[in-house]
A and B are shown apart, each in its own frame.
Chain A
Amino acid sequence: MKIYPRQRHRVLQVIAKLLVPFVLMFALYVQFHGDFGPGGGFQAGVIFAAAIILHGLIFGLQRTRRVVTPGAVRVLVSGGVLIYAGTGVLCMLMGGNLLDYDVLAHDPLHGQHWGIFFVELGVGVTVTGVMISLFYCFASRRTDDARR
């Protein structure tokens, strides 16, 4: 039988490993259900970042930075704004004004649906990236100070 060495914070590690997937799934649910209930991009981004921050608090910053690298976080931060503004420019390229979602699909209602989808996605991605990068900035400063 495999014997696991006793870690100091084993209970917290087990619970965090159990909960992080559910929090991430809930973040996706909130993101895509903004049309039907409370939700949308801002809340979903914050909840997604909260899952990563929970992982960082329990398992240590090094491991979390291996999972979500700082480069990926930078891509997230700027990618969200690009998605949002890109949707607006795409509307202009397809004949309407900036952020005029009516022209995105064959039908104004479907166009609005797709426009809102991409816009909320952009918002969610940027908020996720910013929250995670804020946490990394504060926490990595702390470990550097502690190492000195």
Chain B
Amino acid sequence: MDHFIIICLLSFLVAIAIGIVVLRDLLAGVLLSGLYSFVAAAAFVVMDAVDVAFTEAAVGAGISTILFLGALTFTRHDQKRRGHDSLPALVFVVVTGGLLIYGTLDMPYYGSATSPAQTHPELAVRFIEQSAGEVGPPNIVTSVLASYRGYDTLGEVVVVFAAGIAVLSLLGLRRRTPVAEAPDDAPGDVPGDANGNANGDSPERPTDNGSGTRT
């Protein structure tokens, strides 16, 4: 039953990927990529990798979609029509893909218990058997991430930091209006007078100025 669910989810992934490539509307492409991340997170849950699924759902289906939509406001909503299809590029891509698929034939079977990732005595076996005694938390993923492989996580944090700094230096945080002068209305609010009453919107009597307090 697990295999059936995994095959279904992976075929959804293939269909969504084909959809993203074929569609020319960028807004639909962005939403489909959010959906791709969500289906990938579901596939990770079925494979019992819940931490990864959590991160994939939060980052891919949440933040990434918002940032893509934000970037999409700068450009048009459809893709430029491609010029011509190039035959050498197609041949090159097919040959490279074929070589990669040929390379995966040497990999261990999906879920095999005898693969090196499961049976390596110094890595997987040691983490599973001795993590409770050496590090402590019941969640072995956290203990591997933060303690056994703490350097890698330090590198990841520095990469995220560098990405943030790069975007900040390229785009910059503009400050046209000083923060102290920020308006109290949200976008779309009907502009109001000093009492907080909206103009042209008077459910209360016009003589009743005292009750119209600022919201």
Contact = CB atoms under 8 A, between A and B. Distances in A.
Interface of A: 1-9, 13, 30, 34-40, 42-43, 46-47, 49-50, 53, 57-60, 62-63, 65-66, 69-70, 74, 77-78, 80-81, 84-85, 88, 99, 101, 108-109, 112-113, 115-116, 119-120, 122-123, 126-127, 129-131, 133-142, 144-145, 147
B89 interface: no
A139 B63 CA distance: 13
A137 B157 contact: no
Contacts of B135: 109, 112, 116
B201 to A, nearest CB: 5
Contacts of A6: 190, 198, 201, 203
B142 to A, nearest CB: 5
Contacts, number: 197
B63 A46 contact: yes
Interface residues of B, number: 69
B100 interface: no
B154 A5 contact: no
Given A36-B138, A66-B182, A2 B211 contact: yes
Contacts of B183: 60, 62-63
Candidate in B147, B186, B215 with the most chain A CB atoms within 10 angstroms: B186
B55 interface: yes
Contacts of A35: 136-139, 142
Contact of A2 (B138, B172, B179, B213): B213
Contact of B187 (A53, A60, A88, A131): A60
Q: List 4 A-B pairs, minimum CB-CB distance, nearest first.
A: A130-B164, A5-B198, A138-B70, A62-B182
Interface in B141-176: 141-143, 145-147, 150-151, 153-154, 156-158, 160-161, 163-165, 167-168, 171-176
Interface in B50-67: 50-51, 53-55, 58-59, 62-63, 66-67
Contact of B215 (A5, A59, A85, A145): A5
Given A109-B136, A120-B146, A142-B70, A147 B176 contact: yes
B204 interface: yes
B197 interface: yes
A70 B164 CA distance: 13
A112 to B, nearest CB: 5
B74 A142 contact: yes
Given A8-B188, A112-B134, A134-B164, A50 B139 contact: no
